[in-house]
Structure 1
């Protein structure tokens, strides 16, 4: 469904009618814009980034493992994708980015919800994790049920950590034996959610 949000005063673009949906192969035309904005945004914040290539983004679109937001005029607004590790035991919500003109208006929150729902739908038993230095992302993760964890509780697959090589903080990560860095790891464990639901369903006994 199109996202109906009222822009804040001074906002460059109107948000009425924005469509947050599953990305497809046709959205590959936006891949270079997306990766360029990922990089420039990280540099502007002075924080690290695990660099992605346009080809990586296009692959996620073709696989049905990405969410994109576009205007009625087919202008790119925001993006995120998922990656799997350890035979689908872990799923990572990654690459969340919103075009500058559409920030601080709720688009990121909607994309985050959609990519989380996509991960739950494709991999219902997987643990979903995210690592970030961004307070806003941590807040969104918390609302979805993520909790801060140590690096030892997320995937140990080499492929994931190799993705950090392009981050400016990579040597810090290596120096700490891949056990800690500037990013905060957060995890959603569906098994814990199921346990909570079972506890709530248990009848109370009164003496």
Structure 2
């Protein structure tokens, strides 16, 4: 299996990625906000995502987005093809997208929202910690991205203070959150 930073050669998978994001959200009844083909294509073309494939077959995907003028980076849209689930693929994709985020934005706080216990475990192993929503970017555009999520009404009824997703944040060394330095080191996968 190949897990690589995306390029235009991966555009052939964009429809399949979008469809699986939608199907997965429908099956779970929660989670992944819908993204347009144009949005996903841009992430892929600009090298702001990670694509996993095996022998020309799409396996998985995750992308990065910057917020608050690069002070925050979200690792979003993690999806693995049903045929490749429960094989450690999600962990490998998350590791690669985390490395991409750290290399492109070494001083940014990296965050994600998830409803999945497996993703919480992966994030925790990478050095993320659960946080309250006020610790995340307050960029309006980020929160507007939640409008397509089935849980958007819950988020808004809670005044964007919490939702069904768990917010997790990685604070890089030499950065701090509320005046407290990050003391949990990154775990390096080999």
Q: In the alignment, does 2:158 pair up with 1:180?
A: no
Q: In the alignment, does 2:91 pair up with 1:109?
A: yes
The residue number in structure 2 matching 1:70 is 53
Q: CA deviation at 1:104?
A: 0.2
TM-score norm. by structure 2 comes to 0.91
CA contact (8 A) 2:6 2:46 kept: no
Q: CA deviation at 1:64?
A: 1.0
Q: How far, CA to CA, are the matches of 1:58 and 1:178 in structure 2?
A: 29
Pick from 33, 38, 42: which aligns with 1:50? Answer: 33
| 1:32-47 paired onto structure 2 within 5 Å | 32-47=15-30
Pick from 20, 23, 30: which aligns with 2:13? Answer: 30
Q: CA deviation at 1:47?
A: 1.2
Runs of 4+ in 1 over 6 A off after TM superposition: none
Q: How far, CA to CA, are the matches of 2:124 and 2:54 in structure 1?
A: 28
Kindly tell me the number of residue pairs found equivalent between the two proteins: 179
Once the two structures are superposed, residues 52-73 of structure 1 have per-residue CA deviations (whole angstroms, 9 ceiling, x without a partner) of 111111101111111001112x
Q: CA deviation at 1:196?
A: 4.0
> Which SS does the other structure have where 1:95 is aligned?
strand
| 1:123-202 paired onto structure 2 within 5 Å | 123-190=105-172, 191=175, 196=183
Q: How far, CA to CA, are the matches of 2:42 and 2:119 in structure 1?
A: 24
Q: Which has the larger radius of gyration?
A: 1
Q: CA RMSD in A?
A: 1.5
Gaps of at least 5 residues in structure 2 are 185-190
> Which SS does the other structure have where 1:55 is aligned?
helix
TM-score norm. by structure 1 comes to 0.83
Residues 176, 27 of structure 1: CA spacing in aligned structure 2 closer, same or farther, 3 A cutoff?
A: same
Q: How far, CA to CA, are the matches of 2:101 and 2:182 in structure 1?
A: 20
Q: CA deviation at 1:194?
A: 7.2
Q: CA deviation at 1:48?
A: 3.2
The residue number in structure 1 matching 2:188 is none
